[in-house]
Structure 1
Amino acid sequence: MKKVLGVDIGGTKIRLGVVNETGKVLSDTTIPTILPLYPYLEEQVLKMIENFPDISGIGIGTRGMVDAKTGVVTFETELEGWQGTPVKAQLEAATSLRVEINNDANCAALAEGRLGVAKDYERVVCLTVGTKLGGGFVFGGNVENGVHGGAGEVGHLILYPHGLLCGCGRQGCSEQYVSGTALKRLIDEENVIDPNTGELVIAHNLFRLASSGLPSAVTVRERFLSDFAIVISNLQAVLDMDCVVIGGGVADSADDWWEGLLAKVEPLKLKPFEIKRASFGNEAGMLGAAMLVMDDTI
């Protein structure tokens, strides 16, 4: 049975997994992210190949913007020295194996679209709500990269023209309103005090306190979910998807806000579509990276 290596590169850690064609993880290793990433990444990949010499390809998911055709990281400001790295060419030369690289949110979307909760849908939008807001599109089982590798940058849809300044240099981007960072700002603005500690509530507990009826927490929840629903509605107007998958760190508290989001999205729908919770959690990026080289269709 075919085996490939999936690599998920994050800001603090890198996950490497050997995966077979059914999506089963045969080996899983997590290492710290050490800069510069190259040649460190090459060294770690070669170690995995030594242990699994029958690996037939290497898929890599990474932060930042990627030109999937050339295999070059075209934009990444937080991993110093990573931007501009021709990852595909360098790793193929070092390993003599096929290498594909894509954005980590695209990889997470591919995992859900190929193996997860959206495997029976044709047009899938995956949203990762963590520190920032990420997105990935999988149509017909394949990642939609766009011409420059920039498709799926949902966090940079402008939600409020002339709004808050975003790290990209523009104003009003959706990730300034729908993300873990946005929740922290809203908590501060509404002065949401946790009655158990007497201090500002941490974002992870915000929705639980809203469910208990704390007025300031309810205000933050409603602002957050209303903006989230608009983002989803705008995506439907452009993409006409049949499934939206939601994951990321903020989704860990979804038991306390899921039904509220569905209620806000429903009247905004132009056509029916499903909204589902992601099934793979932190494993999604590594699994999706493996799927990049599982066949020749990506």
Structure 2
Amino acid sequence: MKVLGVDIGGTKIRFGIIDDDYKVHLDTKVPTTFPLYDTLENEILNVLEKHPEIERIGIGTHGFVDSKRGRVVYATELLPGWSNTEVKTQLELATNRRVEVDNDANVAALAEAKLGAAKDSERSVCLTLGTGLGGGVILDGYVVSGGPNGGAAEIGHMILYPHGHPCPCGHNGCAEQYVSGTALKRRIEEAGLTYTPETLFEHITDDPEAEALVKAFTSDLAVVISSLQAIFDMDTVVIGGGVSESADQWFDYLHDELNHHLLNPIHVTTAQYENDAGMLGAASLVLDV
């Protein structure tokens, strides 16, 4: 069987034709244009016309997603007009194929659990440290997703510091305001340093202020991981996103902090698939059902 895995991002939509063995037969992308649903439907119909052998369609997208209904409950202005879109219902009518939809962090976690860094784990959490803090939770092979508001496993919006830094979601002190690439930029500015997040880690050993900032960042990340362990008792944590690209420079600090916070040891590693995880994870929504 061949399926279409679709990864919807703020700047591009990626399409992959993938078979039961997760071999990729087509990998293409188009710019994200609006109205988004019209772009999505038109591009999918174009792919199906050329590849009628595609039997099902899986989609990963930014936003809060009601995965049972395949509906985008809420999306930020990164994807204007995308909130309240009945993606599954509309696409199934347009394509006469089964369609499944979930949050992009959830499908990335599925890819790592089925194929990547957590493939030998029964219970895993994937954290994406990028513009925000994304998260996906896999328990005994099933992704924790959906909910009446599509907000299950929105790890970035766990409250880390009550009355802390304001978050675009409307609350204060969300985890992603302290543990993300954007949070690192703010921390650096507040400390009066001139580094970028990338160069910050390069100066851990020669600048005490840089080291102190990294220790604060990894301490907050360790608290997030410890809190998740208390809820899910996972055996593996996979860390992806742009910040993970320099993990070899700060992972020792993270492990030191985890030693102070964890109830039990956890295997913590970096993501294996990164840019491909969204497309592969979207395909897995309809391959393993």
Bin of the TM-score, shorter chain as denominator length:
over 0.9
d(CA) in 1 for partners of 2:206, 2:27: 42
User: Is 1:122–2:115 an aligned residue pair?
Assistant: no
Question: 1:222 Cα shift?
Answer: 1.0
**What is the Cα deviation at residue 146 of structure 1?**
4.5
Which of 115-124 and 283-292 deviates more?
Answer: 115-124
Equivalent residue for 1:207? 201
CA contact 2:5–2:280 (8 Å) conserved in 1: yes
How far apart in 2 are the matches of 1:95 and 1:207? 48
Tell me which residue corresponds to 2:176. 175
Deviation track 1:256-290 (CA, whole Å, cap 9, x = no partner) reads 11122122112311123211111001111111000
What is the DSSP-based 3-state SS (H/G/I as helix, E as strand, rest coil) of the residue aligned with 1:159? coil
TM-score (norm 2): 0.97
Choose the corresponding residue for 1:259, options 229, 252, 268. Answer: 252
| TM-score, scaled to structure 1 | 0.94
The amino acid across from 2:37 in the alignment is: Y
Q: Which residue of 2 aligns with 1:269?
A: 262
Contact 2:68 2:146 in 1 (8 A): no
**How far apart are 1:120 and its partner, in Å?**
1.4
Q: C-alpha distance in 1, partners of 2:43/2:146?
A: 30
Give the distance between the partners of 1:254 and 1:293, measured in 2 at CA: 32
The CA deviation at 1:77 is 2.1
* Total equivalences in the alignment: 287
* Runs of 4+ residues deviating >4 angstroms: none
Write the distance in 1 (CA, Å) between the matches of 2:266 and 2:197. 29
Equivalent position of 1:293 in the other structure: 286
Give the aligned residue type for 1:124: S
Give the match for residue 152 of structure 1.
Answer: 153
Q: Kindly indicate whether the alpha-carbon contact (under 8 Å) linking 1:68 and 1:100 is maintained by their aligned counterparts in 2.
A: yes
User: Does the Cα contact within 8 Å between 1:15 and 1:30 map onto a contact in 2?
Assistant: yes
Alignment of 1:1-298 (within 5 A): 2-78=1-77, 79-148=79-148, 149-192=150-193, 200-210=194-204, 212-296=205-289
Question: 1:191, 1:216 within 8 Å by CA — same for their partners in 2?
Answer: no
Q: Is the 1:16–1:30 contact (alpha carbons within 8 Å) kept by the matching residues of 2?
A: yes
| Aligned equivalents of 1:237, 1:142: Cα separation in 2 | 19
Q: Is the 8 A contact 2:188 2:195 kept in 1?
A: yes
Q: Which SS does the other structure have where 1:230 is aligned?
A: helix
How many percent identity over aligned positions?
Answer: 55
Aligned-partner SS, 2:188: helix
* Equivalent pair of 2:67/2:146 in contact (CA under 8 Å): no
Q: Deviations over 1:231-266 (max 9, x none)?
A: 101110111111111101111111111122122112
Where do 5+ consecutive residues of structure 2 fail to align? none
Structure 1: which 5+ runs fail to align? 193-199
Instruction: Supply the AA of the counterpart residue of 1:32.
Output: P
Q: Deviations over 1:112-143 (max 9, x none)?
A: 11111111111111100001001011112121
Give the C-alpha shift of residue 145 in structure 1. 1.1
**What secondary structure sits across from 2:228 in the alignment?**
helix
Quote how far apart the aligned CAs of 1:147 are: 2.4
What value does the CA root-mean-square deviation take over the aligned residues?
1.1
